[in-house]
Homo-oligomer: A and B are copies of this chain.
Amino acid sequence: MQISEYFPVYQKLTAEQQAQVDHFATLRSIQKGTVVHDASMGCTGFVLVRSGQLRTYMLSDEGREVTLYRLFDRDCCLFSASCMFSSLQVDVTMEAEKDSEIWILPASIYQQLMNESLAVANFTNELMATRMSDVMWLIEQIMWKSFDKRLAGFLLEESSIDGSEVIQMTHEKIANHLGTAREVVTRMLRYFQSEGMVKLTRGTIELTDIPALTALTNS
């Protein structure tokens, strides 16, 4: 499968532009845990996921994290090419959560396409709108949803992504996703366990009452 089958506006490019994408996009195989982009790297480029799973998060001065959104097969990310926009002052980190294959198109090439092609410019607008919706959803969660509901929702999402009722993830890692401290996660998980909603063992969390977790997150 070539980039032509993954890049959503490829068919709307001129032959010359298509040749540029083919030539300049590099396919990288990255292992779980690899940091693909962070603030220190400057402008990594436009990222398009062929397969795998990546996490985009913000990092505080004190090293705390909060997940902004995940990328799966065929998802694109612009924040790793934020230098293309003079108004975008955003530092995010992107890390592979599973072994992944991604295409990277240099920011200068993507920017040139954006300046030449209406299709690319408006595709970029839609992509920006998607990320904006993700981030606004996150604000709602942080501002107005109590932590038990957020944690229940996160466990259900993880279970759904992995297609398994057993989640293999440390409490520390969950805390990083949700932007809180490990102790807070551990305390709430123990409460969930006492209510029969999960079963905890070292390194795993088994969801034992999905209807109850679903009711909690939607309450």
Contacts and interface: CB of A to CB of B under 8 A. Distances in A.
A144 B181 CA distance: 12
Contacts of A143: 58, 60, 64, 66, 142, 179
Copies of this chain in the oligomer: 2
A20 interface: no
B62 A144 contact: yes
18 contacts: A60-B143, A64-B143, A64-B144, A85-B126, A86-B126, A88-B132, A88-B133, A90-B136, A114-B122, A115-B122, A121-B122, A121-B125, A128-B132, A132-B132, A138-B139, A139-B139, A142-B142, A143-B179
Given A115-B122, A122-B121, A125-B121, A139 B87 contact: no
A188 interface: no
Given A60-B144, A118-B121, A139 B89 contact: no
A115 to B, nearest CB: 7
Q: Determine the interface band of chain A, counting residues with CB < 8 A from chain B.
A: 35 or more
The 7 closest A-B pairs by CB, nearest first: A121-B121, A85-B129, A88-B129, A87-B130, A128-B128, A87-B129, A60-B144
